[in-house]
A and B are shown apart, each in its own frame.
Chain A
Amino acid sequence: MIAGMRKISLIILVICAGSIFAQREEITIKVDTIYTPKSTKLKIVKVWSVPKFILHFNASYNSGSMELSGHNGGFSLADFSLGKTFGARHGFGANLIGKLPLSKKGNFWLDIIAGFDRFQSNLFASNTEEGKVYYNSFNGGIGAEYNFTPTHKMKYYIGLNPLVSVISGKSQLTNPDNNRIDVKIKSSVRIGYSAFVGFEYAFEKSVGLNVGLKFTHANLLLKKSEVAVQESDANSTMPLNDAAADEIQFAGWKQFAYFSGSVGFSYFFGVKEKRYKIPN
């Protein structure tokens, strides 16, 4: 009996001892001291500066206007000989333009322009029964441009420039008796202007795409007509013959005017990206 009581007491003692240990463990649990930092939102915006210089290259399709637009799409020997039109209608060209900002804000720009345009009577038209003609115009000018959004990706502009053109060419005239006469159009200097509108899309900081439309009146000043100099039976040379002169063959009051639609690439130099923190 006594032995049984001792066993029971021992079991109770062990259980009690166990509970004492448990109480000790509870005491040793530390308070959770993990620090959770308070999060803040940081708003940063990137802003591009005005380019220090823009190099703009484009290629264009030209559509003749006024006397630079032959009729019914073909070359007419009679119109050309009478000086009614230049005989050509469509053309193409290319321009290289350097643009310098005139103010810190970058709205006003000085444009330095060099270009080449070619017009052909047989471009997009195959009617060469009466002959054909082509003109090459090397031109250049210095102009002014207003850019509405110089710090944006989309830079939208409008401008105007005086233009000096050196226009030359050659015509091959086929008479009704199938005799061919070549008339060389010697280099003629003319002064005119171009008005243009377009945009440049900077797809990254230094490179972009440009699209534009331009009207050019190349021979506003210095129109001149002279009698063609016959060098042989089948060859003669004359100037552009764009001034009114009824008595001179190939001469007439003619405007070397055309519209151009262009696309190309622009390179933006000196653009810096600044990052600004927006205050909370």
Chain B
Amino acid sequence: MNKRGKFIIRIILISVFLQFACMAAFAQDDISPISKKDTFYNSIADARIINMIKPGKAPRVTISLGGSYNIGHLDLAADDNASFRKDDFESGRNFGTRYGYGGYITGKFAIHKEGNVRLNVTAAYNRFLSNFVISESPQGKVFYNVFSGALGIENNFNPDKKAKPFVGLDLVVSMISGEATLISDTAEFKLKIKNAIRFGASVNLGFEYAFSNNAGIQLGYKLTYANLIGKESKTSTNPSETYLNDEKVTGETVIPYAGWKQFLYSSIFAGVNIYFGMRNKK
């Protein structure tokens, strides 16, 4: 190695040394303010303040049981001008319904001692009807039954207090079936919508209020996209039956009742909670 090479290596080594030296200095700078104790205070804490810092105990398990009112979006927001339209349904332009209702049971399992992060397991049933909230159409009606299971995660912001706001995300598997009644001038035609399995997701936001260490209520909002994955359109061999037919149909192919349709809905939910292993704070 020539002199120039050695010189360069020395410069590099010195630079590396200085780098480490500076890092150490910065680390000390960071630590130094911590050693100073700021003992200033405005007043002695009263009972209310003391209660605020007194730790409670988050529930280990919460069972939620409730019902929901559902409003459809996108292609589940059909029934234009508040009336079921047979042509739109037959041409696969929408699902033919707009409003629905449902029920659910959710188990919330705290995954650590603090209890704010929870694993949620949900079983739910929702039903959408073209003649729910709005009056029945002379062109017919349709309903859907949605049985779903969900696995998700939730963050509860105050798990050891009476008011417990939360936000969560679930992965949802839905089994959707239904039946349509299509009325023409001469006849009434019943069409069965066969079971279809779809995968989706939901986000929810709400709050729980615990009356005691064992019981409370909850209220919230949830947006569910039930057929995010698994859309499919195909022709049934039986003319009085059809599949959910929510996939886009391209080219010359004609599939009855098929179209690019999103099974998306909002739910306003309310229910009761049963808590296990909770010591509630005021």
Contacts and interface: CB of A to CB of B under 8 A. Distances in A.
Contacts of A276: 41-46, 49
A45 B260 contact: no
B195 interface: no
A253 B79 CA distance: 11
Nearest to B99: A66
B81 A83 contact: yes
B77 A148 contact: no
Interface residues of B, number: 46
A12 B78 CA distance: 123
Contact of B205 (A63, A72, A89, A213): A213
Contacts, number: 117
A90 B85 CA distance: 22
B73 A69 contact: yes
Contacts of A213: 205, 221, 223
A148 to B, nearest CB: 5
B81 A65 contact: no
Of listed A73, A85, A198, residue having the most chain B CB within 10 A: A73
B40 interface: yes
Given A71-B94, A79-B80, A83-B81, A277 B223 contact: no
Interface residues of A, number: 43
Contacts of A94: none
Interface string B20-49: 000000000000000001011111111001
B141 to A, nearest CB: 18
Contacts of A279: 44-45
B207 A156 contact: yes
A66 B45 contact: no
Of listed A84, A148, A261, A279, residue having the most chain B CB within 10 A: A148
Interface stretch (B1-9, B59-67, B157-165): B157-165
Contacts of A45: 45, 49, 52-53
A252 interface: yes
A72 B74 CA distance: 8
Interface string B81-104: 110010010001110001000000
B162 to A, nearest CB: 10
Nearest to B262: A73
A154 interface: yes
Contacts of A83: 81
A29 to B, nearest CB: 36
A45 B45 CA distance: 8
A71 B93 CA distance: 6
Interface of B: 37, 39-46, 49-50, 52-53, 71-75, 77-78, 80-82, 85, 88, 92-94, 98, 157-158, 163, 165, 167, 205-207, 220-221, 223, 248, 259-261, 264, 266
Given A64-B77, A72-B248, A79-B80, 12 more contacts: A45-B45, A45-B53, A47-B52, A63-B74, A64-B73, A65-B71, A69-B73, A72-B93, A84-B80, A84-B85, A89-B74, A275-B41
28 contacts: A65-B71, A66-B77, A69-B77, A71-B75, A71-B88, A72-B260, A73-B74, A73-B260, A76-B93, A79-B80, A83-B81, A84-B80, A84-B81, A85-B80, A149-B158, A149-B163, A149-B165, A154-B157, A154-B158, A197-B205, A197-B220, A215-B71, A252-B80, A252-B81, A261-B223, A276-B49, A277-B43, A278-B45
